[in-house]
Chains A and B, each alone.
Chain A
């Protein structure tokens, strides 16, 4: 899953199929 704000790929989302949080950047520690 790509974080809508930062454009980074979010690890948590990839595994769990979770939805991104609108207007909230995915923190570094959760990105691939």
Chain B
């Protein structure tokens, strides 16, 4: 293969990154509880889960006893209890977003359906956890807590039913497939509600004991929408429905239930008040779902990252062993030892898969950590506002937070140092970042991840698309498509981003991040941080330009209905955020790696490799951002035509001939500078005179600069590819065991 000249003293990646490396990269090196959790989940993933996949359990839509046995494994390994507070039967103190992300990562390393099944239980409890009354929380958490050793109790399982009007499959929080009305309301007593709900694509429905369902009022005595808890023993119909004929994630139970039940009004999540004879739920379904999904989407994003990183080892092993066993390759020969890795394309493409996997994991785990930081601040914020007499999500809260946001921008600008440590300001800063990171990782990790997963499958040849493929890569590719849809398909994430990424507070922090990347580029030029910083600058310039510019017909460019503008910009931002997270993680490894004896041993080679991956990824990000921004910035201007207006800036050949006597050589210079119209009106064969760049000089300068910033990125790719031919891998995959 052709590679760049490499210093013989270069340290290469010795082995695939192990737990100690991941703990540093994803910041849980000081969390023993999380490290143990990872070990525990891994045993389930690579044991019972992997055995089920290998035995063909994915070949049926039905919830079989074999699949059901996973629930007990989840309980025994601590997976079920991760979500719960220690007082409710859990074992992790404090926020649990990173913990849940790690669970999702470990399970999805083998099978994302198993990850979905485990997380769906948390999803069912989330509305109760986030917004339930103390009684609701106590009751349902204790029911769902896994039994302690020696305790003879079957834990409850839950299902979350937002739905999706049949026959469409996709989350639409504005259109609920459920109605609620008053069935009976005796004077001075709790009202009884009649709830009718039809669900589609409802996870865990094959065995759920209760359902948290979103419904809207079908009765003037109930206001708006709410979420309500339905139990399987409630009077009425609790029909689990038929299994959804989904093509993927077959280790999770998914059904289309029909529910028609009578429940007491105290099952409304968060409780209710009665005002003028009308039941007013404390929270509408949208408020609850917002609180739930903004956290749980991160874990879905992490699933696809796990798949990409899990593909590395099987692909390397396949490529190296490709020619062994035949008569051509003799042991010791390059063809025998390296197999397909002799071909540059094979290792280059695997570098791309790996770089994407690292970037997406970095982004996903960064988002999980932000939510871990945000959770206590959010509670603090609610209490501070309540002390000021401001409660709920109404206009008073909005107004108060607008003021905080203004303060936070001034604080960032260094004008208000007195606000350092202010809870509300800290909350506002983190919240604006979380509002972007969550949809960004969900969108990019799963959507782009699915496309890159296809590359991984391709690298296994025909083997990739069989059930026998080591690492189940074909399954994982298909599964990734569902992850791109679960909990809000790509369009929903893009739409959310198109709003949150224009938030002033986020943009103020984004400007700081550009400066931060420049500094990193100065200190660590090999990371590709410079290309990234320029791409970030270009994205910001383009956003600001599009926010104030109109198209050729005078219509505003950046507006919610113009998704041709807002969505690509949202996509482009995701590339930047992922690359930034990856670079920051690599720096963390550089900083802390030497302190860990296991990591320190091969640290130089590992850092070289991780740095090269960052460079490769930042170049991809810059290229993508350049393409998207150039299309948007130039694409809405009308191309000049060969008419009077379009030719206004062209030279006439007659004029040039006349000037030739005064300025010798002008004719030839003019041809290179602009278009020339001949005497007979003929012109160069093209669409029209070349477009001019009025007011776009800054953009074109940035574009040229950014292209230049890609210098060295392919050398980094060559080095990373070379490392892939040398890295040690185990003799065999460690699953199924």
Contact = CB atoms under 8 A, between A and B. Distances in A.
B149 A17 contact: yes
B36 A15 contact: no
Find the residue from A10, A19, A27 having the highest chain B CB count within 10 A: A19
Contact of A12 (B33, B43, B77, B148): B33
Interface in A1-32: 10, 12-13, 15-21, 24, 26-27, 29-30
Interface string B475-491: 00000000000000000
Contacts of A17: 40, 76-78, 149
Contacts of B35: 21, 24
Interface residues of B, number: 17
B76 A20 contact: no
Interface string B711-727: 00000000000000000
A28 B124 CA distance: 35
Find the residue from B32, B78, B91, B148 having the highest chain A CB count within 10 A: B32
B32 A30 contact: yes
Contacts of A20: 36, 39
Nearest to B41: A18
Nearest to A30: B32
Given A12-B33, A30-B33, A18 B39 contact: yes
Contacts of A13: 36
Contacts of B77: 16-18
B444 to A, nearest CB: 32
A16 B40 contact: yes
A18 B36 CA distance: 6
B599 interface: no
A13 B78 CA distance: 9
B86 interface: yes
A6 B40 CA distance: 19
Contacts of B90: 15
Contacts of B86: 15
A23 to B, nearest CB: 9
Nearest to A24: B35
B586 to A, nearest CB: 24
Contact of A18 (B40, B148, B149): B40
A17 B77 CA distance: 6
A17 B33 CA distance: 12
A19 to B, nearest CB: 5
A18 B37 contact: yes
B91 A15 contact: yes
B542 to A, nearest CB: 47
Contacts of B91: 12, 15-16, 18
A17 B36 CA distance: 10
B39 A21 contact: yes
14 contacts: A15-B86, A16-B36, A16-B77, A16-B78, A16-B81, A16-B91, A17-B76, A17-B78, A18-B36, A18-B39, A19-B39, A19-B43, A21-B35, A21-B39
Interface of A: 10, 12-13, 15-21, 24, 26-27, 29-30
Given A27-B32, A29-B32, 7 more contacts: A16-B36, A16-B78, A18-B91, A19-B43, A20-B36, A20-B39, A30-B32
9 shortest interchain CB distances as A-B pairs? A16-B78, A15-B91, A16-B91, A18-B36, A18-B40, A12-B33, A27-B32, A30-B32, A19-B39
